[in-house]
Amino acid sequence: MDLGDIQGARAAQERTLKIEEDTYGPDHPEVARTLNNLGNALMGLGDIQGARAAQERALKIKEVTYGPDHPEVAKTLKNLGNTLKDLGDTQAARTATIRSHAIFVATLGEEHPLTSIAAQQLSDLDK
């Protein structure tokens, strides 16, 4: 998103979210995927509170849909950890990131790129 049209991305994700909610209902996994993407766009625009709300909603949907220890849950926890860090809530960021990393290790293994990203994110919280 760094080189793209973040405002356009936000608008596209908001349109997609409306269509998916109308088509699938508010708690469908596709809605959660779009909420996670919308959260990323909002972060890029500096709307950290909006990003947090979108990511927390996505997390709830994914936990119900996939269970608490699924890689899809971990992906959203990883993003939420970054958002919480930017909000200055280091403890909550650490909690989300530790959980994300643990899920990735258990489901994808130590060598998976997502596991490495979560480990680096956790290391960055220690700085």
With vertex at residue 51, the alpha carbon angle to CA 49 and CA 57, rounded to the nearest 5 degrees, is 105
* 115 and 109 Cβ atoms separated by less than 8 Å: yes
Q: What is the pLDDT of residues 66-90, one digit of tens each?
A: 999 999 999 999 999 999 999 999 9
CB 123 within 8 A of CB 101: no
**Candidates 3.40.50.720, 1.10.10.60, 3.40.50.300, 1.25.40.10; correct CATH number of 6-125?**
1.25.40.10
pLDDT of 1 > 50? The answer is no
- CA pair distance 43, 37, nearest whole angstrom: 10
- Quick: pLDDT tens for 34-69: 999 999 999 999 999 999 999 999 999 999 999 999
Domain extents in the chain = 6-125
Number of C-beta neighbours around residue 105 at 10 A: 17
Q: What is the pLDDT of residue 126?
A: 82
Q: Which of 117, 30, 34, 57 is nearest to 82 (CA)?
A: 117
Amino acid 119: pLDDT: 95
pLDDT at 111 over 70: yes
Amino acid 3: pLDDT = 54
pLDDT of the residue at 127: 77
Whole-structure pTM value? 0.92
Question: pLDDT digit string (tens) for 9-40?
Answer: 999 999 999 999 999 999 999 999 999 999 99
Type and span of the H or E element at 61: helix 48-66
Residue of 120, 33, 126 whose CA lies nearest to 76: 33
Helix, strand, coil distribution of the chain in percent, nearest 5: 80, 0, 20
